[in-house]
Amino acid sequence: MPSDLKRVSRALLSVSDKTGLVDFARALSERGIELVSTGGTHKALREAGLPVKDVSDLTGFPEMMDGRVKTLHPAVHGGLLGIRGNPEHQAAMLAHGIQPIDLLVVNLYPFEATVAAGKPYDDCIENIDIGGPAMIRAAAKNHGDVAVVVDGADYAAVLDDLSQHKGAVTYTLRRRLAQKAYARTAAYDAAISNWFANELGDATPPFLALGGSIAEVMRYGENPHQSAAFYRTPEQRPGVSTARQVQGKQLSYNNINDTDAAYEAVAEFAPERSAAIVIVKHANPCGVAEGATLVEAYEKALRCDPVSAFGGIVAMNRTLDAQAAKAITEIFTEVIIAPDASEEAIAIVAAKKNLRLLLAGGLPDPRQAGLTLRTVAGGFLAQSRDNAVVDAMDLKVVTKRAPSERELADLRFAFRVAKHVKSNAIVYAKDLATVGIGAGQMSRVDSSRIAAWKAAEAAKAANLPETLAKGSVVASDAFFPFADGLLAAAEAGATAVIQPGGSMRDDEVIKAADEAGLAMVFTGHRHFRH
């Protein structure tokens, strides 16, 4: 076991992000710690009036090849890797004039930011750091003697240790910093390898690395006995990960999961065409609608299932305005997420101090490629994001009767929603609003019956004389394997159907639709969401 306390006499600093650097380096220098640095970091410290050596003073070599070669040298890596209590290591260091480096401060070239900014291929390549990860890994391996800092957020912890222990750093802190260092280089390499795979068009590379940075630690996971945390990946997709939380309690694990589901669903509706609202409960939409205004869309969406909407998540595709904010805050809501909000709307929501308001800064693109993951025992499943959109599908009329223009608009609307409902998914819609949703059932006919029952219950809640499903259309996320599910929709009052098609009994289902007077279109695309 290494000695608990290790005195810091020499520090090597080489950072891309120089936030807080000068103050940290000054505090080190004031403690008599010798500073060694490279390139732009060296320049910044010299300009701040700090005594600092150039790394070439250690190596005897100048920086070369546009800075690609500067720290890859035994004088640097020997100073980081040499075990202080090992006589052979010490003899080698003495024989070759290698000076020990007790503290390494490195953050890496901004590869992730370069990719996110859409920079050209060659720029991305030039922002792949080589010397930095090599030094970080060396220092972290030798954490028994060396402290390594890869995050400016840890500057204060190092200075606290130095202050409390008369210029030494504890083994506890060195080990914690080493873990973080390896996690950082792993995430960095993951970003690089995944970028390369994307550039090559390789959807299933032989090795797939994952990396993320912690956004916050949750109080618990899905249940109180489960620990959880939220991590951000390099993907800059508008949503929970990009959102500014204006107010409200800390988001829970379930809040984040449900809010992501709601925001991805509402992004299916182009804001320039209409306002749209999605209300989600337990990761499933319980009300979705389009309208001329957000408040109109909200009232239509709420009518679909006002019971489930209580304590739900509300997502919208336009800037939250005061009228919509007032309507939404009339019932208990957990989270509101929008691209932005007016100051008046923010003030209205502020009256509900526990209600979380998230402003995401934009909408995710439903057509954008990406990766989705799910863990299984001993591994994980990775697949491309379901970025199929109904507007790009060639809808094929398969029944004797073709849908009317109104039915066709509602069919497209319903299929957009079905994409975001757990399978087996059945969605009834009328006038660009859901009127009944059946989700997550083991049989499609059960989902159809539940959706019809929901439509009848919604009508009762609104004091209407007949089910909301009367005159509606119905969407199914996958084909009807038998005619029973389709006939259940017809019995509920649906007049048109949209489904992928592709069943061995398609002819039987089409015949049943014709006999029931239904119009039906096939999309050729399935939207399973398990």
Catalytic residue numbers, as ranges:
141, 282
Give 126's contacts (C-beta < 8 A, 6+ positions apart).
none
CA angle, 29 then 35 then 37, to 5°: 140
Spatial strand order of the sheet with 434-438 comes to 396-397, 519-522, 496-499, 473-476, 426-429, 434-438
Closest among 223, 200, 140, 137 to 174, alpha carbons compared = 140
Q: Give the CA distances from residue 421 to residues 49, 206, 372, 456, 501, in Å, rounded to whole numbers and listed in that order.
A: 61, 32, 16, 20, 18
Nearest to 427 by CA among 365, 361, 472: 472
Please give the distance of CA 346 from its chain centroid, rounded to a whole number.
24
Instruction: From 283, 211, 310, 274, select the one nearest 431 (Cα to Cα).
Output: 274
Q: Give the separation between CA 80 and CA 87, rounded to whole angstroms.
A: 16
Element of type H or E holding 15: strand 10-15
Range list of H helices, 143-293? 155-164, 171-200, 253-266
Inter-residue contact 13 to 25 (CB < 8 Å): yes
Element (H, E) at 344: helix 343-350
Q: Dihedrals φ, ψ of 335, to 5°?
A: -140, 140
Determine contact, residues 141/147, Cβ cutoff 8 Å: no
